[in-house]
Amino acid sequence: MSAWNSALLCANPASVWPPEMAALTIKQSKNPLFVMGSLLNNIPEEIAEKSLEIAKKRNITVVATGGSSLTLSKMNYKSRVIGIVELINNLKNPEWKGFDAKGNYDLICFIGVPYYIGSQGLSTLKNFAPHIKTLTLCRVMHPNADMSYPNMSYEEWLGWLTKLIDNLG
């Protein structure tokens, strides 16, 4: 599988994971974090609903970046709000206690973060935060993540997110 933008390649690209494996990874995580980006405001509402369903099923802390809190508040969901760059800088620090003071996170799930900034943030985490694994649930492949979905249409994406939710139990 190739990156959405073929110029953004890396030496150790992400593994493409089907929904069943993504669900298993989330279930095995001890302290996951779900980062929802500004594209949540521009994609079909069904995707935002599925994203929140994933977070609620596993009681995952949700962080809104880039104005995605607008969509989340319309859905009556109160999330943490922080800039993506500030969040990435905090995550790099293994001593950071996180938003709930339980310690740093072991898995970061991303959805709706614009590709150009998501790619750079994922690259930073890959190279400077070896204590964290990253999983992108976007409809485009992110080679700088540890695990990613492949490039797909909106309909396929909705189906993959539904399968992920079904496998979370």
According to the model, what pLDDT value does residue 154 have? 93
According to the model, what pLDDT value does residue 17 have? 84
According to the model, what pLDDT value does residue 1 have? 46
| Paired strand residues for 121 | none
Q: For residues 108 and 96, is the Cβ–Cβ distance under 8 A?
A: no
Of the chain, the end-to-end C-alpha distance in Å amounts to 28
Q: Give me the residues of the chain with pLDDT under 70, please.
A: 1-13
| Angle 146-77-111 from CA coordinates, rounded to 5° | 20
8: Cβ contacts below 8 Å, ≥ 6 apart: 119, 143, 144
98 dihedral zone (left: phi>0; alpha: psi -120 to 50; beta): left
According to the model, what pLDDT value does residue 6 have? 53
User: What is the rounded (10 degree) CA torsion for 45, 49, 54, 60?
Assistant: 100
